[in-house]
Amino acid sequence: DAKTTQPPSMDCAEGRAANLPCNHSTISGNEYVYWYRQIHSQGPQYIIHGLKNNETNEMASLIITEDRKSSTLILPHATLRDTAVYYCIVRAFGGATNKLIFGTGTLLAVQP
Amino acid sequence: EAGVVQSPRYKIIEKKQPVAFWCNPISGHNTLYWYLQNLGQGPELLIRYENEEAVDDSQLPKDRFSAERLKGVDSTLKIQPAELGDSAVYLCASSLGASGTYEQYFGPGTRLTVT
């Protein structure tokens, strides 16, 4: 599985969009980009995943560059409850093993 | 739908004592995972079960750690004896199946402190 690089921390004002970057320059053609988040004292929570097209769900949007070497998770209107560690993970989709390899993630602090 | 249940949520023990963690996955989820999370780090996989079979335990320190999932539902992770370095959060997760098409759902974890 490809490795990812994320900034260790970011701040965002409540109500503003939070844009969390992730670099995955060694991603393979069959690997998807996944995002999870972990709120304090809870287990990780799935947010969204994508291959090459931009994706949107009720939680967030995922923008993947055309060369697929980087992506951005967008929380359109951040709230205090979005304060969490956000993990960007790349792995094969539909592979034989459902293995998640977490890095250290980005601690997003939403400020009032 | 109930999520992944873990107990206890917190445990404090002295070193060299045994400890056990319990996990009840989401109903119908055949695949169960145990992760270890050290402070400031992301979770790391310890063991993965397909029903009652451990299919990936390469990261489980087998000298002191053991796990079981006897009826393919609940699972127990045990440490005996515990060491100071075992202080961490132990997370359980489950998914419908093993392949990468299935999302993993995590429990809240058990925070272990070894003194």
Chain B residues interacting with chain A (CB cutoff of 8 angstroms): 4, 31, 40-45, 48, 56, 91, 93, 95, 97-109
How far is the CA of A11 from the CAs of A14, A111, B5, B53, B104, in angstroms? 10, 7, 32, 44, 28
Three-state DSSP at B86 gives helix
Residues B4-41: pLDDT tens digits? Answer: 999 999 999 999 999 999 999 999 999 999 999 999 99
Residue burial B18-42, b: 16+ Cβ < 10 Å; e: rest:
ebebebbbbeebbbbbbbbbeeeeb
Three-state DSSP at B84 gives helix
Output the CA torsion sign for A56, B105, B98, B73.
negative
Residues B44-89: pLDDT tens digits? Answer: 999 999 999 998 888 999 999 999 998 889 999 999 999 999 999 9
Q: Chain A partners of B108 at a C-beta cutoff of 8 Å?
A: 41-43
- CA atoms of A27 and B63, how far apart (whole Å): 36
Residues A61-80: pLDDT tens digits? Answer: 999 999 999 999 999 999 99
Three-state DSSP at B95 gives strand
Query: From the list B44, B91, B100, which residue is nearest A95 (CB)?
Result: B100
